[in-house]
Amino acid sequence: MTELLKQPWPWYVAGALIGLVVPALLILGNKHFGISANLRHACAACFPANIPFFKYDWKKEAWNLFFVGGILAGGLIASTVLANPDPIVVNPKLVNELAGYGIHDYSNMVPKEIISWEALLSWRGLVMMIGGGFLVGFGTRYAGGCTSGHSIMGISTFQLPSVVATCCFMIGGFIMANLILPHIMQL
């Protein structure tokens, strides 16, 4: 059984499981799926109630915090217990492209040239992590939710603003990956 879990699942299995989360949440308690709201719930639990944005009954949404805890626990289990010791297989064309950005290490899920303390404390790392974190946080708040909330929950419940937000997320991702990121990787 663990051998089955150590390899990537086909998109049609993983996609169906993610898709089943939406009706399950709606049927089990009219709950809405999304990750970004958890920051608000955590802040509402920690900050005084005199800040109007955090003045609501966050305890009704505590299940969402457990959901994020499950994501973290699942990531930890997947990276330790179910970790595949084989090197990551990368398409040769992508290897050539990434070599131009100084990325050569494929021994882990994320190249050390991008995710490590040395990379974080570089100019490129600061731009990517701090600048990217700010843009993601601002965009999430401006769009009224994150990609998972809009793209999975919003579209499946036929919400037009979620369709618009998802299209904007995709356009922004294409622009970033193809036009901006190559310049940042050259820093």
Query: Is residue 4 included in any domain, yes or no?
Result: yes
Query: Is residue 99 included in any domain, yes or no?
Result: no
Place of tokens 């509402």: 44
What band does 21 get if pLDDT is binned at 50, 70 and 90?
Answer: confident
Same domain, yes or no: 1 and 60: yes
- CA 8 from chain center: how many Å? 18
Which of 66-75, 92-101, 104-113 is the least confident region? 104-113
- Other C-beta atoms closer than 10 Å to the C-beta of 40 total 16
What band does 174 get if pLDDT is binned at 50, 70 and 90?
Answer: very high
Query: Is residue 6 included in any domain, yes or no?
Result: yes
- Among 34, 59, 83, the domain boundary falls at 83
The yes-or-no verdict on residue 109 having pLDDT over 80 is no
- Number of structural domains (the chain) is 2
Identity of the highest mean pLDDT range in 18-22, 44-48, 175-179 = 175-179
CA–CA distances in Å: residue 115 to residues 41, 70, 72, 109, 174: 28, 23, 18, 10, 21
Q: Which helix (H) or strand (E) holds 116?
A: none
Same domain, yes or no: 172 and 126: yes
Same domain, yes or no: 121 and 186: yes
Domain that holds residue 26: 1-83
The yes-or-no verdict on residue 6 having pLDDT over 70 is no
